[in-house]
Structure formats: structure tokens, C-alpha cells
Amino acid sequence: MTTIQQKKRGQIENFEKKLDVMLAKHSEYELVGIFYFIDPSFTKNKNYYTAELTKMSTAYNVEIHVFYGESLFEYLGYIDIWEEILLHLESWKKQIPDFPEINFDLDAQHTFEEIKDLKPLVFRKLLENEQIFQEIVSTLFPQKATLKLLLKYYATKSETIYKTISNDLKNRLGVQ
């Protein structure tokens, strides 16, 4: 959760830096700030962005908006361009090849057999970093089935490094 908070704050800080640069060259009355997300489904942080941009708007005396998807084009009076963008995105989507499956839990036993003998350093690095675990490992193993197989496997080993990995896995999986 910390990384999401940092990302939101970083986006706002980056926007404010750009606004500051623009204000060095233009009058506050000549500018309209636009914070834009092309995907209209990314609105989960809209309240945060709106609140922060409202504060910034007041502090700099600049009109600032946050837009998602077609709302920017509605604001600009170019809704037909949004429709054209959607058509191009649909066409492009049909042209790209299928992406490989990234859910390694679909065949957990097979995945387990493929990765169980990787060097302990690999698993230690994956498990010790919160961000890597949350953003990568949890994406690759969404049901945690392969990770549970690894936990059982490492629990049977006597070397300290495997006990360390086993304990880290227990903590990450919330297992007693």
C-alpha cells in the first residue's frame, strides 16, 4: 500500500513541478492545468487527485482539472476524436499477438517442479522485498498454490537458508 501512496504523491509532485515551470514562462491567467488518465476505469484515486489539485489550483490561482477517458475530449469539444482513438485502439488490440499466460498457479505442480531447485538466493530476494512480492510474485502466483508447494518443500530441508525461506514464505502467505 505504501508504494501506491508514494506513486500518487509522486504524480502530484511531478504535476506541480511542471506547473511551476509553466508559470515561470506564462501568466497564471494563461494556463489551464490538466491531469489526465486515458483509461476511464482508473478512477479509484479520483478523490485524492481532485482534493490535491483543488489545493494546488487555489495556491497557484490556476484552473486545474482531472479528466478520465473521453471527459477531456468533451471538455475540449472534440468528442469525435475520442471515438476515433477508441476505434484505433480496438484495431490495434486485434493486431497484437496473444500475451503469454502469467498465472503460474494454473498448473501449480508443474510450475513447482520447474522452479523448486532454483538457487535459494532467488527466493530470498523475491521474499524479502515487499514491493517485489506484492507487485510481481503475487501477480505471477495469484492463488499462491505454487508458493504453498514451495513452502512444504522447503520445510523438509535442513539447511538454514531453506528454513529462512520457509519462514519468509509462511509470513508472506499468512500461514502458521
In this prediction, residues 41-65 reach a mean pLDDT of 92
Domain co-membership, 51 together with 135? no
Last residue of some domain: 51, 69, 95? 95
- Answer whether residue 100 is part of any domain: no
The domain total for the chain is 2
Domain co-membership, 88 together with 151? no
Domain co-membership, 26 together with 80? yes
Determine the Cα–Cα distance for residues 108 and 149; give it in Å rounded to an integer. Answer: 8
- Answer whether residue 36 is part of any domain: yes
- Answer whether residue 154 is part of any domain: yes
Domain co-membership, 7 together with 90? yes
Between 156 and 175, name the one with better pLDDT. 156
Three-state SS for 30? Answer: coil
Domain co-membership, 80 together with 38? yes
Domain co-membership, 46 together with 68? yes
Domain co-membership, 87 together with 51? yes
In this prediction, residues 9-18 reach a mean pLDDT of 93
Overall pTM > 0.85:
no
In this prediction, residues 38-54 reach a mean pLDDT of 89
Q: What is the pLDDT of residue 165?
A: 93
Kind plus residue range of the DSSP H or E element containing 32: strand 32-37
- Answer whether residue 7 is part of any domain: yes
Res 99 pLDDT > 80? no
List phi, psi (to 5°) of 36: -130, 135
Whole-number mean pLDDT of the chain? Answer: 89
List phi, psi (to 5°) of 39: -85, 115
Pick the closest to residue 172 from 35, 146, 161 (CA basis): 146
- Answer whether residue 69 is part of any domain: yes
Last residue of some domain: 38, 61, 95? 95
- Answer whether residue 149 is part of any domain: yes
Q: What distance separates the 2 farthest-apart alpha carbons in the chain?
A: 70
Res 37 pLDDT > 70? yes
Between 2 and 22, name the one with better pLDDT. 22
Res 95 pLDDT > 80? yes
The domain of 125 spans 108-173
Kind plus residue range of the DSSP H or E element containing 128: helix 120-128
Res 168 pLDDT > 80? yes
The pLDDT confidence band at residue 4, using thresholds 50, 70 and 90, is: low
CA separation, residue 164 to residues 37, 61, 146, 151 (Å): 42, 55, 18, 11
Q: What is the pLDDT of residue 3?
A: 61
In this prediction, residues 153-159 reach a mean pLDDT of 93
Domain co-membership, 115 together with 160? yes
In this prediction, residues 92-102 reach a mean pLDDT of 79
- Answer whether residue 57 is part of any domain: yes
- Answer whether residue 101 is part of any domain: no
The pLDDT confidence band at residue 150, using thresholds 50, 70 and 90, is: very high
Last residue of some domain: 44, 63, 95? 95
Please report where in the chains the cell 486545474 appears, as a residue: 64
